[in-house]
Amino acid sequence: MKFNTRITIAGVKGSKGKLESGQEYDSTKIYVQTDLDDSKGMGKGFATVEYNYGTSEEFHKLKHLPFPLVAEAELEIVTNGKTQKTVITSLQPIELAKPTKAA
């Protein structure tokens, strides 16, 4: 199932290299601001959730932007039959997020 939503990206991290075993890796992680669960009255504010987002090339497309930023994202919910996960399939930065004041 695919859907579009606006997300606030708090940070991005690229990683590329080779393990001692010889296996190569190449990835980007996107850190998305997410509301804390307040359904029991014991959570308030935000945390960040890590999502995989393509190869390190995606990091290089975003690294010049100031963070946090707001982006239009296409997400897809996928499953292996037992568990499900949300995958970011595309991002389009649209505006800089307003900085939050420290308490």
How confident is the model over 21-33, as pLDDT tens digits? Answer: 999 999 999 999 9
Helix (H) or strand (E) holding 61: helix 56-62
**Mind listing the pLDDT tens digit for each residue in 62-81?**
999 999 999 999 999 999 99
Helix (H) or strand (E) holding 59: helix 56-62
Mean pLDDT of 25-49: 94
CA distance 27 to 46: 25
Fold of 2-96: OB fold (Dihydrolipoamide Acetyltransferase, E2P) (2.40.50)
* Nearest alpha-carbon partner for 93 in 20, 2, 12: 12
Portion of the chain with pLDDT greater than 90, in percent: 86
pTM, full prediction? 0.84
